[in-house]
Every structure is written in structure tokens, then in C-alpha cells.
Structure 1
Amino acid sequence: MMIHPAMKAYQSIAQFSLTGREADAACFRMLIDELEAAASSPDQNVRRKALSKHQNLWSMIMKANTLDTGVVSLEDRELFVALADKAQKYGILATLHPQLSLSPLIQIAQDILEGLESAPAESEPVFGTDTMF
């Protein structure tokens, strides 16, 4: 059986793809970098852009955890929704009050990142091409 060139290309890079946990960690690393840059910049546009990304990320986290997909326990989902709520509320205050420190938002993101990096990865389903067909 001949394998399509696109499938060959996919197979050659599939082993290097990120797991869900690694992708989440990468998002928080980028968020921390943006928030730290905004905290040290006098440019309010940099701050607004970082806070907008912050709000979008937490909004996605909240949305993902309000749905019961059977993957995450109710207790963990409630914790993530509560954390997202608090982070977003502070983000709104930081948007309205430019003098407000971004340190609490950076600390929350760092705590989440440390948890993602230190906790043993649960057995995530590996996406392979053998199960596609």
C-alpha cells in the first residue's frame, strides 16, 4: 500500500509533537513572558495586549472546565473555574487601573506552570497514525 506524501511528512514529525500538558505549560510560559514584559514596560499598549491575552487564556480554561468531558474530576474542574474567575477579576482591575501590579497574575501563572512541570504526566492518549485508518 502506498502512503500519501502528506502522511509520510506527518509521521516524520508526529513523534515530536507536544502532549496536552506540554502545550499547556508552553502557553503559561508565554503568558508569563508577556506579563513580565508588560510589568516592566512603561508602554500601556504592551500592558493592554498582555492583559488581553491573559483574559483570553483564562476564558478558554474556564470554558473547558465548565464542560464535563469525563476526563477531569469535578473537584479539579471547580478549582480551575474558581482560579480562572479570580485571575480574570484581577485582570479586569489591572486593565482599569494601570498602576496596579501584575505580580499576582504572574505568580498565579508561575504556580500553574510549576504544577504542570512537576506533576507526573498522566497517561495521555498518544495520537498515532496507525489508528486513523
Structure 2
Amino acid sequence: MWMSNNIEERARLRAREIFMKAFIRALADLRVLTPGLVRVASTAAVQSLMEAMGIEEKSKRKPLDALRELLSILGIDAEVLGNDEIHVSVKPPCPLSFCSECRRLCPLPHLSAAYLSVTSERRWSPRRFGKDFIEIDDRCRFRLV
């Protein structure tokens, strides 16, 4: 049992490493960092992650199942609910919260939307809470439409 957990944790760490390297590489190519450009970098990074992890495009899975799988691969403990509008509630600590500007520049809503857009028949986008894509209280929350 311990060996299995250790292998799963290494796979999650590897997935996060692949995503973060691709995300940082995409950010480095940008001259200015805005939430819109974070979306561009997230989309590029999700393509790299899918290629490296062997995740196929346009799978026949439901969006909720696909998103749960992605979050699990990244080692993110989250509750995923909804249908036409997906609500995601990330339990702390989030392994992708890497800066003080997390609320404004978090890649997770964009990563999730890009992943779902690639793996499903529908285009997904993060939905704002006021001016930010993330709402933070006891948990980090975001929505996809």
C-alpha cells in the first residue's frame, strides 16, 4: 500500500513539474503579465502536459470526470460540481499557489478550461467573481462555463 501511494505521489509531482515548466516557459515568452496572458500560457502548458502524460484529446468522458482526473493527476484535492456551469472548490493547500498574486494570476481556472476545451466537444472558459477568476475564503473557488 505504501509503495503504491509513493508511486502515485511521484506521478503527481512529475505532472506538476511538467505543467509548471511549460507554464513558466510560456510566461517567459510574454512581455507583460495579465490575466488574459495567463490564459495563453495555461493553454500552452496544458498541451505540453497532455502530450507528456499521454492524455488523449476529445475523449468521451464527461467534463466533470475529466476535470476530476486532471486535478487528481496534479495532486489537487478539490470538489467538482455542476453541469453547464462547473464549480470547483480547492481544498488547501493548493500545490499551484506559488505567488502572492494568486487571486489575480492563478493558472488553475485557465488550465481547467483549456483542458476541458481540448478533451470535450465544448469550449470552456473561466467565469469571473467580480474582477478576479478566483474567490478565496476558507477554500479557493472558481467556476467554468
Q: Which has the larger radius of gyration?
A: 1
As a proportion of its length, which structure holds more helix?
Answer: 1
Q: Please, what TM-score do these two structures have when normalized by structure 2?
A: 0.28
Whose RCO is larger (CA < 8 A, sep 6+)? 1
TM-score (norm 1): 0.30
**Structure 1 or 2: larger strand share?**
2
